């Protein structure tokens, strides 16, 4: 068993658009009828879903999904928020998580690990897609103060900058593959709400295959 994953960029199009979703899914050998996605609210709810959940309306108020079944296409969106893929090859099981700063600070990633892996298996692999990087992600002290100092960059006279990739890794407690990561704010090929104010989104799509 394995999984597929895709962090789209501007060349692929805005994953909020059904026609783009269909094109992306078909390129992965899946269809919109295989899809499960949520109304994201920067919360900590992670739901386990099955083939019976595919193709319906978006699942209310959910920022993370887990499945153990083949052919269930899990998807999350984000413009600057980290999108995280977790893979437990022993399950086998996968999770996709929309982990913006609010969800990160509230613990959505440990919650995703708990749902993914009810019994400790020790084999989970984590992957991070494009999100705002520490080069660009200035935050206020009220946000910085909710994260470990190891995830905050400080320079004299400037506002603190949050290192979201580091915050993801610290929250999970395992190393994260950053091979697909770029800073959305300063990478022109990425959608970035902070850079443009537009709602277009990258998407992370994953399925057990």
Smaller CB separation from Zn ion, 133 or 160: 133
Instruction: Tell me whether residue 65 or residue 191 sits nearer to Zn ion (CB atom).
Output: 191
Decide: is 182 part of the binding site for Zn ion (CB under 5 A).
Answer: no
Could you give the string, one character per residue 54-93, with x where binding to Zn ion holds by CB under 5 A and - elsewhere?
Answer: ----------------------------------------
By beta-carbon proximity to Zn ion, the closer residue of 90 and 186 is 186
Residue 110 CB, shortest distance to Zn ion, in Å, is: 27
Check residue 183 for interaction with Zn ion (CB under 5 A).
yes
Handedness of CA 3, 101, 148, 165 (dihedral sign): positive
184 within 8 A of 131, measured Cβ to Cβ: yes
Please state the closest distance from residue 102 (CB atom) to Zn ion, in A. Answer: 20
Q: Does the protein bind Zn ion through residue 160 (CB under 5 A)? A: no
Instruction: Name the helix (H) or strand (E) containing 171.
Output: helix 164-172
Query: Count of CB atoms within 10 A of residue 199's CB?
Result: 11
- Neighbouring C-beta atoms of residue 58, cutoff 10 Å: 13
If the CB atoms of residues 53 and 138 are measured against Zn ion, the closer one turns out to be 138
CB of 184: closest distance to Zn ion in angstroms?
8
The contact mask relative to Zn ion for 104-143 (x = CB under 5 A, - = no) is -----------------------------x-xx-------
Q: Any residues with CB less than 8 A from the CB of 71 and at least 6 apart, and which? A: 30, 34, 51, 54, 207, 208, 209
Residues whose CB is less than 8 angstroms from the CB of residue 4 and which lie 6 or more positions away in sequence, other chains included: 28, 205, 206, 207, 209
In this structure, are residues 197 and 84 in contact, taking their beta carbons and an 8 Å threshold? no
Asked if residue 186 binds Zn ion (CB under 5 A), the reply is yes
| Contact residues for Zn ion, defined by CB under 5 A | 133, 135-136, 183, 185-186
């Amino acid at each position: 068993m394995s999984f597929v994953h895709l962090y789209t960029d501007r060349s692929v199009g805005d994953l909020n658009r059904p026609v783009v979703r269909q094109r992306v899914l078909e390129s992965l050998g899946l269809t919109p009828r295989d899809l499960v996605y949520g109304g994201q609210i920067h919360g900590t709810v992670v739901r386990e879903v099955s083939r019976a959940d595919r193709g319906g309306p978006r699942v209310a108020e959910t920022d993370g999904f887990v499945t153990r079944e083949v052919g269930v296409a899990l998807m999350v969106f984000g413009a600057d928020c980290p999108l995280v893929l977790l893979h437990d090859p022993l399950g086998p099981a996968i999770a996709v998580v929309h982990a913006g700063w609010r969800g990160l600070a509230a613990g959505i990633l440990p919650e995703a690990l708990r749902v993914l892996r009810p019994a400790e298996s020790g084999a989970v692999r984590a992957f991070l897609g494009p999100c705002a990087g520490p080069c660009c992600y200035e935050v206020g002290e009220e946000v910085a103060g909710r994260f470990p100092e190891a995830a905050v960059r400080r320079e004299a006279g400037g506002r603190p900058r949050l290192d979201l990739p580091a915050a993801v890794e610290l929250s999970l407690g395992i190393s994260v593959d950053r091979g697909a990561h770029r800073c959305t704010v300063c990478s022109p090929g990425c959608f970035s709400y902070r850079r443009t104010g537009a709602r277009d989104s990258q998407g992370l799509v994953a399925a057990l295959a």
